[in-house]
């Protein structure tokens, strides 16, 4: 057996994050690892990461072993809702005795990690956090051996969510233990109940609801552990409405999806568990789980936290890991057969043919004379880079005469997404930015009438933006501090580029590592394509419908992809919430009071939704100015945008 969990044995010198935390300093190091003092003859290290999803701080623990080079695998613990990773210290010590190094981390909104307590905006946040921690295990902790995940309760959602949503990028995991997984609903809600839950979550995402369990004996049959819960300052018992809605959606998806496991899987459950009754989990396992090496173990006289119950709860997991590996001469790459040693490589998207719609790795330098409009008065030089075979698939890089400030502005022109307009309309403001020694990149793309529109325009702006990394390396500036400024239709595309990190693998422009800006300016942007479609008669333009190939009744997924804000119509907003908010960067949404081309409501609606989602979004309505003054360097609107941009120069 092992020393039981005790809330008084872990580090409480660090303060828990406040109830609602917004991380503003995005310039911190990606990972910081420090070694803590030895506790109860157990070595422990603390590490911090900034989530690639939204830069929230993640705090983790590493319990090493004396002879890591001889370890056959590493164990990663994923805790359940309301708790934190230090509650698994005693479990790690148990596995350390078998020379198995262990790692865990506080999920966002839990323990010492950042974020609102218990709040999860999107399943992608959990998925990307998990991927990044595993990357840290490989790259920073240098644990290249096979990895086994022990997930408890709602921690199982992290793994299963990854399997469901990242089919193109398998989880770097060679064995999985799901312990009392909270992944199925006791009673499946009716359609009306589900719609009401989602509606409430969209209207009041931060409203906190109590959950039973953390302070009762529903979780464990060990009264001492229950008492330790009561004294634990890092435990919480409230779920925001948005989080509950997310778990409902994932639960319904799991109930209707057959999952084929290529890795060994053990699902274990306490027969007397009332938090997640075993009947629902066993039914799910029998009907939805397939694989050559999958197993289900029911534990009599045990409830929810098997690793904290009294009795020999760890016998099976050890047999599951050590037992099988001993049978194959301690090779853990497979439980039943010896396979080649595992290798950890960075996932990359292969080069594709030009005819395919994907992210291209194409770079072709063109002489500076090919820049649209040639040299600006404030240019030192301009270099045009082509990112595709079409002459319009190009990005102009304007380099200032003085030493470059640590800031790059990417301009995305508008013009109704029509081939009648190109990047030349940005010439005046681009030249003005060069006065301040800012590198300016002016992006062009295929539009409606030049083989553009959905989806090609999305691929184009994505490819052109990611090419900035190559351009920056050649000219000695950083691509880590980019501000995207988009006007009108370019405002829509600029918002899409800012939110690309939220795309799914099957959506146009998806990338494993998209370039992410530090700020975004929407100049009279069409931030809400749903309303843009409805406003066609008001504006006298069917540009939105032409660009997306139809109305949202026909192509709702296209409108989800292209809209920063959800529809202002309640019935549509409930069914199709914004995929992108929050964008996690400072935003200026600016428009003129007499703009009749793109209604002012586009800006107001976007700002309201962005603020509700938690974004730092500033609304600016310039009195007496219209739609096109944003392209005039002498206008009041441009002066306000310029002031916003200059505020980011250190």
Give 403-456 pLDDT, tens digit per residue: 999 999 999 999 999 998 899 999 999 999 999 999 999 999 999 998 899 999
Q: With pLDDT > 70 as the criterion, what percentage of the chain qualifies?
A: 79
242, containing H or E segment: helix 241-255
Tokens of 409: 């502005």
Predicted pLDDT of residue 187: 58
553 strand-pairing partners:
none
Distances (CA, A) of 446 to 62, 309, 424: 49, 62, 14
**Nearest-angstrom CA–CA distance, 531 and 547:** 14
- A 10 A CB-CB count for 15 gives 9
Nearest to 64 by CA among 107, 96, 104: 96
Tokens of 175: 């064995």
Tell me: the pLDDT tens digits for 48-60?
A: 999 988 888 899 9
CATH classification at residue 551:
3.40.50.1820
Exposure b/e, 161-173, CB count within 10 A at least 16 = b: bbbbbbeeeebbb
Q: Where are the alpha helices (DSSP H) in 347-467?
A: 427-434, 456-466
- Looking at the domain assignment, is residue 25 inside a domain? no
Domain boundary among 274, 302, 327: 327
| Mean pLDDT, rounded, for 80-89 | 91
State whether 243 and 391 are in the same domain: no
Is residue 214 scored above 60 in pLDDT? no
Give residue 242's domain range: 31-327
State whether 253 and 317 are in the same domain: yes
Q: What predicted TM-score, i.e. pTM, was given to this entire model?
A: 0.53
Distances (CA, A) of 533 to 410, 592, 596, 602: 27, 21, 15, 12
Is residue 394 scored above 70 in pLDDT? yes
Tell me: the pLDDT tens digits for 600-636?
A: 999 999 999 999 888 999 999 999 999 999 999 999 9
State whether 147 and 247 are in the same domain: yes
Distances (CA, A) of 243 to 104, 197, 250, 611: 21, 11, 11, 18
Query: In this structure, what DSSP letter does residue 42 have?
Result: B
Nearest to 439 by CA among 476, 473, 398: 398
DSSP string, 575-588: HS--SS----S-EE
Of 281-290, 308-317, 515-524, the least confident: 308-317
Predicted pLDDT of residue 540: 55
Confidence of residue 529 (pLDDT cuts 50, 70, 90): very high
| Phi–psi pair at 497, nearest 5 degrees | -65, -40
- A 10 A CB-CB count for 364 gives 12
Nearest to 591 by CA among 599, 583, 581: 599
Tell me: the pLDDT tens digits for 135-190?
A: 999 999 989 889 999 999 999 999 998 888 887 788 899 899 999 998 766 555 55
State whether 190 and 141 are in the same domain: yes
Is residue 364 scored above 60 in pLDDT? no
- CA dihedral angle for residue 444, residue 445, residue 448, residue 454, rounded to 10 degrees: -140
**325 or 80, higher pLDDT:** 80
> Among the ranges 227-241, 308-322, 428-442, which has the highest mean pLDDT value?
428-442
Predicted pLDDT of residue 38: 55
Predicted pLDDT of residue 379: 83
8 A C-beta contact, residue 560 and residue 576: yes
- Looking at the domain assignment, is residue 408 inside a domain? yes
Is residue 219 scored above 80 in pLDDT? no
Lookup result for tokens 């994050």: 17
Across the chain, mean pLDDT equals 80
- Looking at the domain assignment, is residue 4 inside a domain? no
Predicted pLDDT of residue 7: 45
Predicted pLDDT of residue 194: 55
- Looking at the domain assignment, is residue 8 inside a domain? no
8 A C-beta contact, residue 208 and residue 238: yes
486, containing H or E segment: strand 482-487
8 A C-beta contact, residue 525 and residue 589: yes
Confidence of residue 381 (pLDDT cuts 50, 70, 90): confident
253, containing H or E segment: helix 241-255
Predicted pLDDT of residue 628: 94
State whether 306 and 407 are in the same domain: no
- Looking at the domain assignment, is residue 17 inside a domain? no
| Mean pLDDT, rounded, for 276-304 | 88
Tokens of 248: 């409902």
State whether 323 and 379 are in the same domain: no
State whether 401 and 538 are in the same domain: yes
| Mean pLDDT, rounded, for 23-34 | 34
Nearest to 245 by CA among 123, 347, 113, 358: 123
- Looking at the domain assignment, is residue 220 inside a domain? yes
**328 or 485, higher pLDDT:** 485
Is residue 8 scored above 70 in pLDDT? no
**Nearest-angstrom CA–CA distance, 357 and 362:** 13
State whether 250 and 314 are in the same domain: yes
- Strands 379-386 and 102-105, bridge-based pairing: unpaired
Is residue 517 scored above 90 in pLDDT? yes
State whether 524 and 390 are in the same domain: yes
State whether 409 and 282 are in the same domain: no
- Looking at the domain assignment, is residue 138 inside a domain? yes
| Mean pLDDT, rounded, for 20-39 | 37
Tell me: the pLDDT tens digits for 262-284?
A: 889 999 988 888 888 889 899 99
Number of structural domains the chain divides into: 2
- Looking at the domain assignment, is residue 338 inside a domain? no
State whether 423 and 305 are in the same domain: no
State whether 314 and 382 are in the same domain: no
């Amino acid at each position: 057996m092992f020393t039981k969990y005790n809330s008084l044995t872990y580090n409480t010198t660090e303060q828990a994050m406040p109830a609602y935390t917004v991380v503003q300093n995005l310039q911190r190091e990606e990972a910081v690892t420090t070694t803590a003092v030895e506790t109860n003859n157990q070595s422990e290290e603390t590490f911090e990461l900034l989530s690639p999803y939204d830069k929230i701080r993640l705090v983790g623990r590493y319990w090493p072993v004396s002879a890591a080079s001889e370890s056959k695998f590493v164990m990663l613990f994923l805790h359940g809702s309301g708790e934190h990773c230090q509650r698994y210290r005693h479990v790690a010590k148990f596995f350390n005795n078998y020379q198995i190094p262990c790692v865990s981390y506080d999920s966002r909104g839990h323990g010492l990690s950042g974020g609102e307590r218990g709040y999860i905006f999107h399943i992608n946040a959990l998925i990307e956090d998990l991927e990044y921690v595993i990357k840290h295990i490989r790259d920073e902790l240098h644990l290249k051996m096979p990895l086994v995940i022990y997930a408890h309760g709602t921690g199982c959602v992290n793994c299963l969510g990854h399997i469901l949503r990242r089919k193109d990028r398998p989880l770097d995991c060679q064995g999985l233990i799901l312990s009392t997984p909270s992944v199925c609903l006791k009673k499946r809600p009716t359609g009306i109940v589900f719609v009401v839950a989602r509606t409430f979550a969209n209207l009041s995402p931060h409203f906190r609801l109590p959950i039973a369990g953390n302070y009762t004996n529903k979780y464990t049959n060990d009264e001492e552990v229950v008492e330790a819960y009561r004294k634990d300052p890092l435990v919480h018992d409230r779920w925001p409405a948005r989080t509950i809605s997310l778990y409902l959606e994932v639960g319904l998806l799991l109930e209707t999806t057959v999952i084929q496991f290529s890795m060994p899987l053990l699902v274990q459950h306490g027969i007397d568990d009332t938090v997640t009754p075993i009947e629902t989990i066993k039914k799910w396992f029998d009907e939805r789980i397939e694989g050559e090496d999958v197993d289900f173990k029911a534990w009599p006289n045990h409830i929810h936290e098997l690793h904290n119950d009294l009795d020999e709860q760890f016998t099976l997991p050890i047999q599951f890991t050590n037992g099988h590996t001993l049978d194959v001469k301690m090779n853990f790459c497979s439980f039943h057969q010896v396979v080649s040693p595992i290798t950890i490589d960075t996932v990359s998207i292969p080069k594709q043919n030009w005819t395919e719609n994907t992210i291209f790795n194409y770079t072709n330098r063109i002489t500076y004379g090919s820049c649209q409009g040639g040299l600006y008065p404030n240019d030192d030089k301009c270099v045009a880079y082509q990112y595709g075979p079409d002459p319009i698939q190009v990005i102009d890089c304007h380099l200032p005469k003085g030493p470059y400030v640590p800031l790059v502005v990417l301009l995305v022109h508008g013009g109704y997404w029509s081939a009648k307009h190109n990047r030349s309309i940005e010439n005046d403001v681009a030249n003005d930015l060069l006065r301040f020694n800012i590198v300016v990149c002016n992006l062009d793309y295929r539009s409606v009438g030049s083989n553009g529109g959905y989806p090609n325009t999305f691929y184009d702006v994505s490819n052109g933006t990611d090419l900035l990394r190559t351009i920056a390396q050649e000219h000695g500036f950083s691509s880590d501090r980019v501000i995207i400024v988009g006007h009108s239709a370019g405002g829509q595309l600029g918002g899409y580029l800012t939110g690309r990190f939220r795309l799914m693998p099957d959506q146009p422009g998806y990338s494993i590592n998209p370039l992410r800006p530090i700020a975004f300016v929407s100049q009279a942007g069409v931030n809400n394509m749903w309303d843009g479609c409805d406003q066609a008669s008001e504006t006298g333009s069917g540009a939105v419908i032409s660009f997306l190939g139809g109305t949202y009744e026909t192509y709702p997924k296209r409108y989800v992809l292209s809209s920063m804000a959800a529809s202002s119509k309640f019935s549509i907003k409930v069914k199709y919430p914004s995929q992108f908010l929050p964008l996690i960067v400072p935003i200026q949404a600016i428009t003129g009071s007499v703009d009749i081309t793109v209604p002012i409501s586009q800006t107001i609606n976007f700002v309201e939704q962005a603020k509700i989602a938690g974004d730092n979004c500033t609304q600016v309505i310039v009195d007496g100015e219209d739609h096109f003054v944003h392209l005039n360097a002498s206008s009041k609107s441009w002066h306000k945008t310029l002031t916003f941009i200059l505020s980011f120069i250190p």
